[in-house]
A and B are shown apart, each in its own frame.
Chain A
Amino acid sequence: MGRKLLLDKAHIENIRFYDVYRREGGYRSVEKALKTMAPDVVTDEVKKSGLRGRGGAGFPTGMKWSFLAKPEGVPRYLVVNADESEPGTFKDRYLMEFIPHLLIEGMIVSSFALGSKRSYIYIRGEYAWIVDILEQAIAEAKNNGWLGKNILGSGFDCEIYVQRGAGAYICGEETALLESLEGKRGNPRIKPPFPAIKGLWDCPTVVNNVETIAAVVPIINEGGEEYAKIGTGKSTGTKLISACGNIKKQGVYEIDMTISVEEFIYSDEYCGGIANGKRLKACIPGGSSVPILPANLLLKTAKGEKRMMTYESLADGGFATGSMMGSGGFIVLDETQCVVRHTYTLARFYRHESCGQCSPCREGTGWMEKILLNIEKGKGKMSDIDLLWDIQRKIEGNTICPLGDAAAWPVAAAIRHFRDEFEWHITNPDDAVRRNYGLMHYADILTVVAS
């Protein structure tokens, strides 16, 4: 059994409510931080922990906090990113739904470190019922003296508010999120200036993912150095993985970044293997934006080493033969699934979610969707594959925000690793509408050792 720091108590009955959460040791980190630590010392602990942002980009959290500008007389803000809309990702929802006080506790400590007196949770609009859960947790925390004025006699004042979005993946991008929180369309801003200098209402702002802020609780309780001992290399601590697709046990798992991908997929502690006795074909290990890998490259790196569930190992080989940890949205495709169709649904997603500010993204995502649908329906031409490749290359790196890259990468990776499947759709149009290509050379050739 791996170490669990975030979800170790999530199964306890009624942990959603304050009394149970407190009885189980909740809010200790607030007592410790506000009574015995200076704000900068809290930031130092987070630095020592090696915690990397859990929202997708993996940026070191302590470093981000230390960039926050602190001009005299200007408010600073902490905004928690609970927009969670990357296909395959549903971990923040789990945390907020089952153990909401963990997020509130982490926010109080983080707000103290950053000097944020008004902190916001920006939550995707569809998670409507979770807004109620969070607001109840906030009210309970406030009634028990953990929020409001002069918390624990420390002189620190803090309030937390929940802001609901209204359906837009792009609002997960931090500057689009801030625009949305200001009551506008979610159009990303040009950076610099970065939010740490000019963020919400032009004030210095830190945007962090839900899981990142929750991880601050065990970091303060146990100390940054202790936290850093868990995991492997620069992948410290634990990571929530939301596993879905064709596996036996879909759900949210907390892993301590010491296990292999093979173990994660096949062991009964985690995914329990591929569903319905089928074989593994491919996997997108970190949310829809990261490259898809065929089974053989997923389980072992190009060098033939076991691939591990860490930031470094998942990225081993770069985009040529590797992928990314991303948001931890782990999507598994079995042998009967069609890579062209799956890639088409993702292209449709990005076309739908493009904010439309940059022409390569706005136009390119639409073209990719159309071409992929044609190929999927057996109406493609051989030259379409090169055209797709060309379009995705013209999007990548040529846009205001990373959504353009996020739309380009899945298409690029699908062609890179599954070109023969695209070609088969084009040369066998009748078959392509009736059946799927199947497994071919992607088979999980490895003998599975994990039980």
Chain B
Amino acid sequence: MIKFSEKSLQEVQRIISFYPEGKQKSAVIPVLHLAQQEFGGWLDVPVMDYVASLLSITPIEVYEVATFYSMYNLKPVGKYLFEVCQTGPCMLNGSDDIIKYIDDKLGIKPGETTNDGMFTLKTVECLGACGYAPMMQLGKKYREHLTKAKIDQIVEECGRSAVTNN
């Protein structure tokens, strides 16, 4: 049985209170974030159905949203998701080299996950950190001014479980 923790259920109620009576459909995007966080980093169909039932909307209304927005993972991802920006301004500051370095170091191309399920590499488009390039999102935070040495350090931190995703 899929069920949010008490804490998350309270958070769902808090989010629903943001909107006028009867407009709880608006909560679908923030609640899907919560679900992805709590149920293993991706959105399986039963999870989406659960969100639909919580918000009293139809499952298709949830699928429509989940498939539109790029932050939702519709397939399993590694424990640590490296989302490296590759758009113009980051490219000007060497993001191509950073992506290649991660590929060489971890043996994964964009979209792939390491065999041990630890790391997934994903290339993303501009994250609004262009002045601090190259950069990536890791969990809730941004890692900026990336260098090869910084990647080494981040991978090492992940290995020691010294990185929190939320």
Contact = CB atoms under 8 A, between A and B. Distances in A.
A274 to B, nearest CB: 12
Interface stretch (A41-49, A88-96, A298-306): A88-96
Contact of B88 (A182, A243, A346): A346
Looking at A90, A242, A243, the one whose CB has the most chain B CB atoms below 10 A away is A90
Interface in A321-374: 329, 331, 333, 337, 341-342, 345-346, 348-349, 352-353, 355
Nearest to A89: B128
Interface string B152-163: 000000000000
B57 to A, nearest CB: 8
A433 B76 CA distance: 36
B45 interface: no
Contacts of B91: 341-342, 345
Residue of B33, B92, B137 with most chain A CB atoms under a 10 A cut-off: B92
B86 to A, nearest CB: 7
A438 interface: no
A106 B28 CA distance: 28
Range of interface residues on B (Cβ < 8 Å): 35 or more
Contacts of A167: 69-72, 124
B29 interface: yes
Residue from the set B29, B92, B93, B128 with the largest chain A CB neighbour count within 10 Å? B128
Contacts of B72: 166-167
A346 B18 CA distance: 36
A182 B26 contact: yes
B136 to A, nearest CB: 11
Interface string B50-71: 0000000100010011001111
B131 A183 contact: no
Contact of B29 (A87, A120, A180, A244): A180
A288 B130 CA distance: 11
Interface in B123-137: 124-133, 137
A250 interface: yes
Band of interface residues on A: 35 or more
Contacts of A333: 92
Interface in B107-146: 124-133, 137, 140-141
Contacts of A146: none
Contacts of B105: none
Interface string A89-128: 1100100000000000000000000000010100011111
Nearest to B166: A128
A242 B131 contact: yes
A234 B20 CA distance: 39
B140 A128 contact: yes
B26 A166 contact: no
A399 interface: no
A252 B70 contact: no
Contacts of A218: none
A402 B125 CA distance: 19
Contact of A183 (B20, B29, B89, B126): B29
B30 interface: yes
A166 B71 contact: yes
B32 interface: yes
A154 B149 CA distance: 57
Contacts of B151: none
A164 interface: yes
A88 B20 contact: no
Residue of A124, A161, A184, A353 most packed against chain B (CB within 10 A): A184
A313 interface: no
A289 B86 CA distance: 17
A349 B90 CA distance: 12
Contacts of B27: 183
Contact of B25 (A120, A182, A245, A353): A182
A353 B125 CA distance: 9
A163 B29 contact: yes
Contacts of A186: 68-69
Interface in A148-185: 161, 163-169, 180-185
B148 interface: no
Contacts of A284: 88
Contact of B64 (A129, A185, A329, A355): A185
Contacts of A337: 92
B55 to A, nearest CB: 8
Contacts of B87: 87, 288, 345-346, 348-349
A346 B91 CA distance: 10
B150 interface: no
B88 to A, nearest CB: 5
Nearest to A342: B88
Interface in B80-97: 86-89, 91-93
Interface of B: 18, 20, 23, 25-30, 32-33, 57, 61, 64-65, 68-72, 86-89, 91-93, 124-133, 137, 140-141
25 contacts: A84-B128, A87-B87, A87-B88, A87-B126, A90-B128, A90-B131, A93-B128, A126-B128, A128-B141, A163-B30, A164-B33, A166-B69, A168-B70, A180-B29, A182-B26, A183-B29, A184-B61, A242-B131, A243-B131, A245-B130, A251-B131, A252-B131, A288-B126, A342-B88, A342-B91
Given A88-B89, A182-B26, A201-B20, 4 more contacts: A85-B126, A128-B140, A169-B126, A251-B131
